[in-house]
Structure 1
Amino acid sequence: MLDILILLLLVVAIVAVTAKLKISPFLALLGAAFVGAFAFRLPAEEIIPTITTAFGNTMGSIGLVILFGTMIGVILERSGGAIAMADGLIKVIGTRFPTLTMSVIGYIVSIPVFCDSGFIILNSLRKAMAERAKVSLVAMSIALMTGLYATHTMVPPTPGPLAAAANLNVVDSLGLLIALGLVVAAVSAGAALLYANSFLKKDIELLPLAAEDTEVSYEELRAEYGKLPSGFMAFLPILLPIVLICLASIAKLPSAPLGAGTGYEVSVFLGTPVIALALGLIAAIFLLRGHGKLSRFNTQISDSILLAAPILLITCAGAAFGGVLGKSSITGFLSENLATLGLGIAVPFIISAALKTAQGSSTVAMVTTSAMMLPLLEPLGLNQGAGPVLAVLAIGAGAMVVSHANDSFFWVVSQFSRIPTATAYRTLTPATAIQGVSGFIAVWGLSLVLI
């Protein structure tokens, strides 16, 4: 029981120093690893090797994947590729059902682009479609927000799911994670869409536009990018790596559908996450046009590195914390007791949801929970078949529950939508709770079949 108390105190301390004291999650997780090592009475000579090995192994397995994924997202955002993707989706889906169109656009765009940036980029489109369809701006905000959020926490190459996949050693099953993540994210976004539609005809008072602010129309936003890339070229940087990763997963099936010769070897090599995302990055480079594109490319790569660095460090620090937990005696205690409770796939969801609600960051919640879960997979019965992949998705579902004042995304959506804070609590926060819970229900349903 003492070890359980120590673990609870460490988790509370991580939340307290990141949420209240605003200390970097990297330092909080690394500090928890060192404090935990002494508190769990690890031999002194094993403490540093345990922490540095877990830290280094994670950086080696996932570092380039997160970095390349971030680079693709930044180039898509800065080149107008995200706008071109939205235009292409509008042509296919149409505008007859505006909230559905908005949700689908968010669902697709947030696979490579951070959800905060995605909302900012698509905000003008949201307003233009709401005005054209004569529907509530709040309904459109909820649809876009939840569409973005669904894939942000479920589908690689978004950094959160990638980090969780690395901590649970399922990077080799990234194709399965993408396939199941797309399904679970669709269920999650669909449930939130039904909630958004309840506001379609409601007249909700918004904050007035500040005197110093000006609203940019969607047409003006498109014009800022000059000539937009084609829809095909905009989608290629994200579709190419996803297809390659999924093909590699198919090739590895016991039935060997692609044979066992050269075709198999090429598929597996090209579908390695690092290679697949590197090819996606090469495809993204062709989105850059006009004079000075080399300079813009260098700037965007530098910005990507700065953006990815904190995520990488937090992920590796979380892995170090998980490494300490794995070496401690707490794993034996939990192995003897957790299995008898029958909670199974609910455990990663509950822990992730608690951390998300307490400290606000979905990425921190996913990294911390996945680091804790690795030694618990076996006692929970999640170490076989698709169990580890479903654990990642359960963590992702929990990382949506719930978005409120300590979450930057909450403020991005409410401020750009001019939704008063009290109204945002009544509209935006329940939407994330609905989609997180519905996402978990989908994961639980899959667990009955796949575990």
Structure 2
Amino acid sequence: MSILVISFLVVLSIVLIVLLTSVTKLNAFASLFIVSLLLAITALPEKGIVDILKEGFGNTVASIGFLVIFGAIIATVLEKTSGASSIANYILSRTGHRNAASAMGISGFIVGLPIFCDSGYIIMSGLAKRFSSKAKVALTVIAFVLATSLYSVHCLTPTHPGALAASGILDANIGMLIVLGTLFAIPAALSAFLWIKWQTRSDLYKEREELHHEVPCEEQLPPVHLSLLPVVVPLLLIATGSLLTVLDISNSKMVLRGLAFIGQPIISLMIGVLLSLLLLKNKGIKDINRVLDSAIVKAGPILVVTGAGGMFGLVIKETGVGAYAGDFLLQTGLGLLVPFLIASTLKTAQGSSTVAIITTASLVVPMLPTLGLYSETGKLLTMLSMGAGSMMVSHANDSYFWVVSRFSGISPNIALKVFSSATAVMAVVTFLCVWLTSLFIL
């Protein structure tokens, strides 16, 4: 079978995934599995199809499984104990009501590190309305600043499923990705904040809505220092571990080697899990088991989808079309623009940032050597470029768009004008930051 025919089949398989997930609304795992199997049967008839599917699925789950589970546990504890609300209230008390939008953005950024953007917005939407009422700031501003701050870290950093799965497919350094993803999420969130403030400058957005959702009283909230521990400590440990790994401490003292060990993402997040349990009022085995059971139920579907993404990626890699496309694209000089454009197109077409970045990683990984991005630094920059692309654009085919619109009580038309346009700004600004950084370190 010629490479052109195989290339056509790969493109057709991507279109089929878009149609199945966005038009027919078929489950993401089912879509990825069906398309992977069909592509393997048609393009790889002489190879061990079942072995390829199993290897792609298994390797991906092995690389990100513990991270997904531990992240889900931390998120569940913060949700059930109102730890996220405690963080938000503390930040508001420090910034003052005049800076309520900034407080909401910072809160969303911190809470979004372990919690998925959909869940984070549902948890904090009531707080957004209270902040709006107290500070006399338009709900449109508060709600969309919260939504975009959550969105920035969701698209760029593990333990979120898209970035985790893609890092497994590309074999990127997850610890460094967490650090860099968090850093690059800052200009993404800041650009969205400025864009929203500018978009909502007219009197049209000055109306405020009454508070409809009950939120916990401040007396009922857990201490803020306990709420921050499971978020901040793992990040600091991972940053330290990544730095020590770069410095090569194999012949150093036991203390430094110990820091490098606990700085591995799996160990750091496990420590975060133990710290999160301090938030529980009742620390009996039954209470802890209820939290663990709830978290594992949430983690299961994520593991299944990310594993399916790895399976699809290996099938594409085995076809050889990625290397062929890399040779062709090398002549264009587009470099990091390639993963960004692919992820942007897929995100806008089918709505899911997770599916967009996983599919893009599957396409891009065979191209890395020919694009000059096969080094550790190149892989990290590729990951960040895909993360930026997976922000573009959240609109009516994205479930998160509807979560933001419905839980804030803001009309879809206004959400399209302000929130959707803000996600496009975030994508472009983030990619420009990644591209400028590549000029100095790649």
* TM superposition score category, shorter chain reference: over 0.9
TM-aligned CA deviation for residue 95 of structure 1 = 3.1
Q: Which residue of 1 aligns with 2:226?
A: 233
Does the 8 A contact of 1:136 with 1:203 survive in 2? no
What's the % identity of the aligned pairs? 35
Structure-2 separation of matches of 1:203 and 1:131: 17
Does the 8 A contact of 1:366 with 1:396 survive in 2? yes
Q: Which residue of 2 aligns with 1:91?
A: 93
* Residue correspondence of structure 1 range 354-433 to structure 2 within 5 A: 354-433=345-424
Name the CA shift for 1:201/1:230 in 2 (closer, same or farther; >3 Å): farther
Name the CA shift for 1:201/1:329 in 2 (closer, same or farther; >3 Å): closer
Say which of 28, 31, 54 aligns to 2:31: 28
Structure-2 separation of matches of 1:329 and 1:186: 37
Question: How many pairs are equivalent?
Answer: 438
Name the CA shift for 1:417/1:332 in 2 (closer, same or farther; >3 Å): closer
Structure-2 separation of matches of 1:208 and 1:102: 17
TM-aligned CA deviation for residue 115 of structure 1 = 1.1
* Residue correspondence of structure 1 range 25-174 to structure 2 within 5 A: 25-44=28-47, 46-170=48-172, 173-174=173-174
TM-aligned CA deviation for residue 179 of structure 1 = 2.2
TM-aligned CA deviation for residue 226 of structure 1 = 6.5
TM-aligned CA deviation for residue 131 of structure 1 = 2.5
**Larger deviation, residues 299-308 vs 9-18:** 299-308
TM-aligned CA deviation for residue 432 of structure 1 = 1.0
Q: What code does the residue aligned with 2:281 have?
A: R
Q: Deviations over 1:340-363 (max 9, x none)?
A: 111111111111111111111111
Q: Provide structure 1 residue ranges, at least 5 long, that are not aligned to the other structure.
A: none
Q: Secondary structure at the match of 1:222?
A: coil
Does the 8 A contact of 1:234 with 1:287 survive in 2? yes
Q: Which has the higher helix share?
A: 2
Does the 8 A contact of 2:323 with 2:367 survive in 1? no
Say which of 226, 247, 259 aligns to 2:240: 247
Q: Deviations over 1:276-299 (max 9, x none)?
A: 111111111111004x75434322
TM-aligned CA deviation for residue 156 of structure 1 = 2.1
Q: Which residue of 1 aligns with 2:189?
A: 189
Q: Provide structure 2 residue ranges, at least 5 long, that are not aligned to the other structure.
A: none
TM-aligned CA deviation for residue 371 of structure 1 = 2.2
Q: What code does the residue aligned with 1:215 have?
A: H
Q: What code does the residue aligned with 2:215 have?
A: L
Structure-2 separation of matches of 1:96 and 1:419: 22
**Larger deviation, residues 278-287 vs 264-273:** 264-273
Q: Secondary structure at the match of 1:279?
A: helix
**Larger deviation, residues 96-105 vs 397-406:** 96-105
Which TM-score applies when normalising by structure 2? 0.93
Does the 8 A contact of 1:155 with 1:161 survive in 2? yes
* Residue correspondence of structure 1 range 262-411 to structure 2 within 5 A: 262-290=254-282, 294-411=285-402
Name the CA shift for 1:308/1:282 in 2 (closer, same or farther; >3 Å): same
Q: Does 1:215 align with 2:212?
A: yes
Q: What code does the residue aligned with 2:260 have?
A: V
TM-aligned CA deviation for residue 438 of structure 1 = 1.1
Q: Secondary structure at the match of 1:401?
A: coil
Does the 8 A contact of 1:114 with 1:152 survive in 2? yes
TM-aligned CA deviation for residue 335 of structure 1 = 3.3
Structure-1 separation of matches of 2:29 and 2:208: 36
**Larger deviation, residues 299-308 vs 313-322:** 299-308
Q: Secondary structure at the match of 2:156?
A: coil
Name the CA shift for 1:422/1:206 in 2 (closer, same or farther; >3 Å): farther
**Larger deviation, residues 263-272 vs 357-366:** 263-272
Does the 8 A contact of 2:137 with 2:208 survive in 1? no
Does the 8 A contact of 2:100 with 2:135 survive in 1? yes
Does the 8 A contact of 2:230 with 2:273 survive in 1? yes
Q: Secondary structure at the match of 2:410?
A: coil
Q: What code does the residue aligned with 2:242 have?
A: S
Does the 8 A contact of 1:136 with 1:200 survive in 2? no
Which TM-score applies when normalising by structure 1? 0.91
Q: What code does the residue aligned with 2:177 have?
A: L
Does the 8 A contact of 1:135 with 1:200 survive in 2? no
Does the 8 A contact of 1:369 with 1:395 survive in 2? yes
TM-aligned CA deviation for residue 38 of structure 1 = 2.5
Does the 8 A contact of 1:119 with 1:145 survive in 2? yes
